[in-house]
């Protein structure tokens, strides 16, 4: 019989199109840019991918189930709040985040100057060390919707651990 190690991995992915006249928020950080992203919330594509990775790891559905974009309560909401609520959902199910690694796919703007601030914001929302939050970024060399500067995509993986020594959820 195999012993459950009390670990789960998660995978998340999201895309949002650019929209003029909106603030750009990525990883919980406001970034000066000529356009933001379209979406019901603050359209933080990076945090949405992280939320889905966490929810997926715990097999708790996805961000659309818990924070539906039809619900006026979530209009314009900070995705950092969605991330905090996601961590609370995990905690209620007996899990806690341990590590996140995410990748932004964006032709513009440059991510590197803001990466550490994003890592810090994600870490703070999840209550984990910034050293446990990795963030990489890449362009797509002009190819596809990212390359045409039509939007930004994000991928995230995470590791969650069973909280405390309680029974398996
Ligand atoms: Mg989204």
70: in domain:
yes
Mean pLDDT of 148-167: 89
Q: How many angstroms does the Cα of residue 15 sit away from the middle of ligand 1?
A: 6
Q: Residue 169: its pLDDT value, please?
A: 43
Q: How many angstroms does the Cα of residue 168 sit away from the middle of ligand 1?
A: 30
Q: How many angstroms does the Cα of residue 3 sit away from the middle of ligand 1?
A: 36
2: in domain:
no
Task: Tell me whether the omega of the peptide bond preceding residue 109 falls within 30 degrees of 0, making it cis.
Answer: yes
pLDDT at 167 over 70: no
Q: How many angstroms does the Cα of residue 94 sit away from the middle of ligand 1?
A: 25
Asked if 40 contacts 33 with a C-beta cutoff of 8 angstroms, the reply is no
Number of domains in the chain: 1
pLDDT at 168 over 60: no
pLDDT digits (tens, 9 = 90+) for 67-96: 998 889 899 899 999 999 999 999 999 999
169: in domain:
no
Residue 39 backbone zone (phi > 0: left; psi -120 to 50: alpha; other: beta): left
Mean pLDDT of 97-124: 98
Q: In whole angstroms, what is the distance from residue 14 CA to residue 48 CA?
A: 6
Q: How many angstroms does the Cα of residue 5 sit away from the middle of ligand 1?
A: 31
> What are residue 86's phi and psi, to 5 degrees?
-65, -45
Q: How many angstroms does the Cα of residue 2 sit away from the middle of ligand 1?
A: 37
Q: How many angstroms does the Cα of residue 64 sit away from the middle of ligand 1?
A: 8
Q: How many angstroms does the Cα of residue 128 sit away from the middle of ligand 1?
A: 23
154: in domain:
yes
Q: How many CB atoms lie within 10 A of CB 98?
A: 16
pLDDT digits (tens, 9 = 90+) for 33-55: 999 999 999 999 999 999 999 99
38: in domain:
yes
pLDDT mean across residues, the chain: 95
Q: Identify the sign of the CA torsion 50, 116, 123, 74.
A: negative
CATH of the domain at 129: 3.30.1330.50
Sorted by sequence, the CB contacts under 8 Å of residue 49 that are 6+ apart come out as 12, 13, 14, 102, 154, 155, 156
2 confidence band (pLDDT: 50, 70, 90): confident
Q: How many angstroms does the Cα of residue 164 sit away from the middle of ligand 1?
A: 31
20: in domain:
yes
Q: Residue 1: its pLDDT value, please?
A: 64
Q: How many angstroms does the Cα of residue 17 sit away from the middle of ligand 1?
A: 10
Q: H or E element: which one contains 113?
A: none
**Full domain range(s) for residue 143:** 7-162
Residue with tokens 């060399």: 141
Q: How many CB atoms lie within 10 A of CB 120?
A: 15
Tokens of 62: 């996805």
167: in domain:
no
40: in domain:
yes
pLDDT digits (tens, 9 = 90+) for 112-151: 999 999 999 999 999 999 999 999 999 999 999 999 999 9
């Amino acid at each position: 019989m195999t012993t459950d190690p009390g670990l789960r991995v998660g995978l998340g992915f999201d895309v949002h199109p650019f929209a003029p006249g909106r603030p750009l928020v990525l990883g919980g950080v406001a970034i000066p840019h000529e356009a933001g992203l379209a979406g019901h919330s603050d359209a933080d594509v990076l945090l949405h991918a992280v939320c889905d990775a966490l929810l997926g790891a715990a097999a708790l559905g996805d961000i659309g189930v818990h924070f539906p974009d039809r619900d006026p309560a979530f209009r314009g909401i900070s995705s950092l709040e969605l991330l905090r609520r996601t961590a609370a959902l995990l905690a209620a199910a007996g899990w806690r985040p341990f590590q996140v690694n995410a990748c932004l796919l964006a032709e513009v703007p440059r991510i590197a100057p803001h990466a550490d601030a994003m890592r810090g914001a994600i870490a703070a929302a999840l209550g984990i060390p910034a050293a446990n939050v990795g963030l990489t970024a890449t362009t797509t060399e002009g190819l596809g919707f990212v390359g045409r500067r039509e939007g930004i995509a994000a991928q995230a993986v995470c590791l969650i651990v069973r909280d405390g020594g309680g029974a398996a959820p």
